[in-house]
Structure formats: structure tokens, C-alpha cells
Amino acid sequence: MEYRVEHDSMGEVKVPADSYWAAQTERSRGNFPIGVGIETMPGEIIRAFGILKKAAARANHALKPEKMTDEKLKAISTAADEVIQGRLNAHFPLVVWQTGSGTQSNMNANEVIANRANEIAGAKLCHPNDDINMSQSSNDTFPTAMHISAVTILEDRLIPAAEELIGTFQMLEKKNKGLVKSGRTHLQDAVPISFSQEISGWRSSLERDVQLVRLALEPLSELALGGTAVGTGLNAPEGFSEKVAEEISALTGKSFVTAPNKYHALTSKDEIVFAHGAVKAMAADMMKIANDVRWLASGPRCGLGEIRIPENEPGSSIMPGKVNPTQCEQVTMVAVQVMGNDAAIGFAASQGNFELNVFMPVIAYNFLQSVRLLSESIASFNIHCAVGIEADAGKMHHNLHNSLMLVTALNPYIGYENAAKTVKLAHKEDISLKEACVKLGFLTEERFDEVFHPEQMV
């Protein structure tokens, strides 16, 4: 491999000749050989850095045109656009497990954009620190990148995926309207419920989850950029905070504002904790929905068997013909991962010492992994399972009329204690509720038929 020599404040460093990164990125590559090639800084963070560096250059051009010249702005903007588009991702090799402020990743962005801008300009025009990092610090850029990436992935991926599944449930509600089945609580028979009512519970849960995620977007829209090293805004011109937030909004098409208190913005990660709590709530509901679906589809002969789900692949290497609820299983595994990530995020967010939290890369990594996985999980479950759910009306009817909890309808006529006696006799002698009720002398056959209508109990 061919190398070139770069330098930083600590001296000279050999860097691969074909890379846009420079000395500080190379030092980090050597100092943190942890999770290389697997746990690199998320692409969403890299893209967010491209956005904020371009926005910062625009703001600096407006406020400090003598330093951020037209020529520099043009070259930086072009290079930043390539970062935003993902065309330079190969030049961002750093892992999550680095300095807790994300300093090396900020410098990685500075070096890549500076070197690419210089290549575009055909001259040594831009310096990583003096130009690309102008009016900034790693301490305010990394939390800004976190918020940009969080808002973007929630709005563009998680909410649309959830809304697609909500639409599927709405379709299933209409399709199964009027179909009555046995309800279940504690995994035991309960009073009747219509299948559309059961599905509406799934739908409503996801609708509330989307509402909670949307509530989390407003706090995430506040950006730390402009606070620089400790929140005082040292070396940033007056008006930079507001101007750069406007530019980021323009570049993303989303609404961002400057954080009113930069000391809070640098050290506290409560907005991310709150937002991930909403993500975890959705994961918890998806766990519940997936479990309901696989219980209802259990069988095909020895389970509940009240619904049929798509058969996507063979389920066993030894049992011919076996098919498993694999989409439900992937959902539940993703939900477990999201819950684990939530614990990591909570612990990390509690470690804001004095003027800076130094657990930001792991917070960003876990947050983005959760949203990415959950978005893809929901989309896959919708396409490969939910849209193909079919009710087995015959099995539902059989289970409904075989349920002892239908006796609840008799409470107003024979009382709770007599109804309990009826259930116990029916269960003990394996006879119907009607037979037990008549045998005990609580109702005549004719009166039983008059008052006992399971389909009307919903």
C-alpha cells in the first residue's frame, strides 16, 4: 500500500495515499482497533455531519465572509454534498468505540471534507480545523449530528413503517367485521370479543406509539451547534447558532432550532432518552402483537389455530412439512434488542459529567440501531405476515361455543355463584353449559335458549 505523510498538532502520521482522511483519523484508526469493520460509526451520523458542515459553512459565509470566502464555500458545499449522498462513506473508517465526545469522528469529517474540497478546488484552499470546523467544536457537532440523524430516521423510516402496518390492520378490521371469537385473559378463556375488536387493539397501540414518537421529535429538533466547547459559544460569531439551525432546516426540509441552553445541550442526553423510550414502547407493542399472532396461528392441529398466516419457508430440517411463525419471531428478537439498547442508552445518558457527556457514540449507535432494526422489522412483518392473515371462522366458532366463560351471560339470570357451579359441573362432566345449567335446575332448556346468545356478548 502506498502512503502519504500528513501532520497534526502531535506530529507526522503516515496515511493511505488514496484516502481523504488525514492524521487525526489515522491516529484513531490505530488507537481503537475495536469492532473494526463491524461497529463503525453509523452512516446516519456520517450523513448528519455532511449536513451540519455544509450548514456551518453557509452560516460562516454569511457572518464571516472574510474567512469563509465564496471559493471556500463552493468547494466545501460540493464535498459535503458527496458526504450527504454517501459517496465518501469508505473514507469514514472509525469505530464507535473511540473518545466519548466523538472528537475523532468530527475530525474525520473535517479532514475528509477539507481534502475533497481542496481536490475539487485544485488548490490547498481549506484547512480541517480552521475552515471545516470554523465556529464549532466536537462537543457541539456530535450532539447536533445525533439529533439530526435521530429526527431523520424517526420521520423517514420508523413512522412510515408503523403507518403502513396500521393501514394493514385497518384493512383486516373491515375484512373481519362481525366475526366473533373467544376472548382470552391470563392465557385462559374469557368472554367473547369480535376479531375486528381484537385487531383494533393492535392498531390503536401502534397509533399511540406513533403519537409518542411524534411528541419526541420537538425536543430532538433543538441543536447544540453554537455552544462550541463548553456551551459558552467561544469562537463562534454572534448569531451563528440561529443561522446554522436555519441552514440545517433548509438542507433537510425538517424543522430545527437552536437549543436555548447550550450547557444543557452538551451535557444532557434526555431528549434521546425520551425519544428512545417511545421507540421502546413501540417495540413492546410489536412484541405483544407478534405474540398474539403466533398464539392465534399456533397448530396447525394442536394449537389454537384461529388464524392462518403466510407460509414463507420450511420450518424444520427433520420434521417434513413443518412451517413456523418466523416473522413473529424476528419481531420479538428485534424487540428484545431494542429493550437492551434502551438500558445502554439510559446508563450512558446518566454519565454527563460537568460540561460534557462522554458516552455519545454509544448512545448514537444504540439509538440508530434500534430505530433501523424496528423500522425494517415492522416493514417485513407487514409484508410477509400481517397482510396475509386470514381468520379460520370455523375454528373461531367452535372455540367460542366450547368456552365455559360464556356462562358470564347467565349472571343476571342465575347469579354469580350458581353460574360458577354451572361451569364447574360442565367442566367436570365434560358437558355443555346448557346441559349443566338444566341439570342443576337453574334454567329450563327453553329459558336458557332465550337468554344465551354468545354473538351478542361483544
Closest residue by Cα to residue 275 from 205, 345, 331 = 345
What 3-state class would DSSP assign to 242? Answer: helix
**Which stretches does DSSP call E strand in 250-346?**
257-258, 307-308
- Nearest CA among 74, 253, 73 for reference residue 148: 253
Is 316 a known active-site residue?
yes
Q: Is 105 a catalytic site residue?
A: no
Phi and psi, residue 62, nearest 5°: -75, -35
Contact (CB, 8 A) for 294 and 306? no
Question: Considering Cα of 87, then 91, then 93, then 98, what sign does the dihedral take?
Answer: negative
Instruction: Identify the residue whose cell numbers are 490547498.
Output: 124
Residues sharing a CB contact under 8 Å with residue 430, sequence separation 6 or more, in sequence order: none
What are the cell numbers at 178? 362481525
386-414 as b/e, with b when 16 or more CB fall inside 10 Å? beebebbeebbbebbeebbbbbbbbeebb
Q: Are 391 and 176 in contact (CB under 8 A)?
A: yes
- Which of 7, 204, 255, 316 is the catalytic position? 316
> How far is Cα 180 from Cα 287, in angstroms, rounded to an integer?
24
Indicate which residues carry an active-site annotation: 186, 316
